Amino acid sequence: MTLELPAGVRVREPREDDHGRVLAVLDLWWGGLKGASGAWERRLLLPRFLFQHFTPSSRLVEADDGTLLAFLIGFLSQTDPASAYIHFVGVAPSARRAGLGSWLYQDFFTRAASHGRRWIHAITSPENARSIAFHTSLGFTIAPGGSAVDGIPAHPDYDGPGLPRVVFRKAS
Ligand SMILES: CC(C)(COP(=O)(O)OP(=O)(O)OC[C@H]1O[C@@H](n2cnc3c(N)ncnc32)[C@H](O)[C@@H]1OP(=O)(O)O)[C@@H](O)C(=O)NCCC(=O)NCCS
């Protein structure tokens, strides 16, 4: 499937000096999900090294005036030559439901496939209904989990004690 990038936006690889401005939008873009502990968790999920050493496989989207509209942090698996992993994605509230998140994912799928990666992996918090709807709309399947949150299979303690995750996989 080929998607059109919405008009008036530009896409590039992130740079180290984008780290702070991406961290600065997380609370607003995630709508304060899971309160103060969620905010802390999200900041720790985006350490600076991702903006130093994982940039060729990641993307940042800006409006023509430079306003940050979206980002995707992903990489080719170092362990499994058939896999790639999308770690974090965000789209500004004002730019949602216009296909930007789908465009970033499709773009990543294409680049992953060009490197021979047949599988795309991602995870999300079971509380993040929007993210679950987004991933399933793009064809991701949810792996069976040891528990369910609101009927969604989740893996308890997946990312550490008290940090359950929904685990997605999709053919690229
Ligand atoms: C999840 C997110 C990235 C989606 O970005 P987006 O650009 O709005 O997504 P798209 O416009 O490409 O949506 C594609 C499809 O996903 C589904 N979807 C997206 N947002 C949805 C929502 N709020 N409710 C239900 N379905 C939704 C729909 O099926 C949508 O297709 P449609 O608009 O034709 O109905 C964005 O909402 C976001 O940044 N949320 C906060 C951060 C986050 O939770 N990130 C993911 C976890 S790391």
All structural domains of the chain with their residue ranges: 9-171
Q: What is the whole-number distance in angstroms between the Cα of residue 143 and the centre of ligand 1?
A: 20
Q: What is the whole-number distance in angstroms between the Cα of residue 133 and the centre of ligand 1?
A: 7
Angle at which helices 19-29 and 35-45 pack, to 10 degrees?
Answer: 150
Residue whose CA lies nearest to ligand 1 atom number 21: 130
CATH top-level class of 9-171: alpha beta
pTM: 0.96
Is 64 exposed, middle or buried, given 0-12, 13-18 or 19+ CB atoms closer than 10 A?
exposed
Read off the pLDDT of residues 17-75 as tens digits, 9 standing for 90 and up.
Answer: 999 999 999 999 999 999 999 999 999 999 999 999 999 999 999 999 999 999 999 99
Q: What is the whole-number distance in angstroms between the Cα of residue 130 and the centre of ligand 1?
A: 6
Helix, strand, coil percentages for the chain (3-state, nearest 5):
35, 30, 40
